[in-house]
């Protein structure tokens, strides 16, 4: 086999070459130019069913809207601005349960939980919380690393005895 540059390749190089070609391939272009009305009418907040055998059934997990995601990120950042005594109660696990609270809905889209339910939810199966969290994060474009980074955002350069505002 010969490449465009005239270099001879063996058949062993074929899989590597195909992988490189796939990485370089541009994303499929959307043929339709959108206007503001089309964007506002787009159904871009999917919901996904998640089986939770630990709880004996399933729940639905929704995609957070831009406002909801911003709120979640702000809460994560504010968790580190709390006094050290209060901060220890809002750890990464608490932030996971909060995302579960914000994203878990019934079949009609009504929230299953209130923010006050985070401590009680944290006492439920960690495996179930993690499963729902992973789906909520994926649907909303958040990675676990994003959550950890948000939680650590204010940690650098602050001492533990800094005054609260």
Contacts of residue 68, Cβ cutoff 8 Å, sequence gap at least 6: 102, 140
Q: pLDDT tens digits for 137-162?
A: 999 998 767 766 765 653 443 333 33
CATH fold of the domain at 45-152: rbstp2171 (3.30.2220)
Confidence of residue 93 (pLDDT cuts 50, 70, 90): low
61 has pLDDT over 70: yes
Q: State the Cα–Cα distance between residues 79 and 149, nearest whole angstrom.
A: 12
Quick: pLDDT tens for 12-51.
545 444 444 455 555 678 888 999 999 999 999 999 999 9
Domains of the chain, residue spans: 45-152
């Amino acid at each position: 086999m010969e490449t465009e540059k005239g270099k001879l390749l063996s058949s062993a190089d074929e899989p590597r070459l195909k992988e490189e070609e796939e990485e370089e391939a541009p994303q499929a272009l959307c043929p339709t130019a959108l206007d503001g009305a089309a964007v506002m009418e787009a159904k871009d907040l999917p919901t996904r069913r998640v089986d939770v055998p630990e709880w004996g059934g399933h729940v639905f997990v929704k995609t957070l809207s831009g406002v909801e995601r911003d709120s979640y990120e702000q809460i994560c950042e504010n968790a580190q601005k709390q006094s050290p005594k209060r901060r220890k109660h809002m750890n990464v696990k608490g932030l996971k349960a909060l995302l579960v609270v914000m994203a878990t809905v019934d079949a009609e889209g009504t929230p299953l939980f209130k923010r006050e339910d985070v401590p009680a939810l944290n006492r439920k199966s960690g495996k179930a919380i993690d499963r729902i969290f992973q789906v909520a994060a994926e649907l909303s474009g958040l990675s676990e690393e994003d959550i950890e980074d948000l939680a650590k955002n204010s940690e650098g350069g602050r001492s533990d005895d800094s005054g609260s505002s």
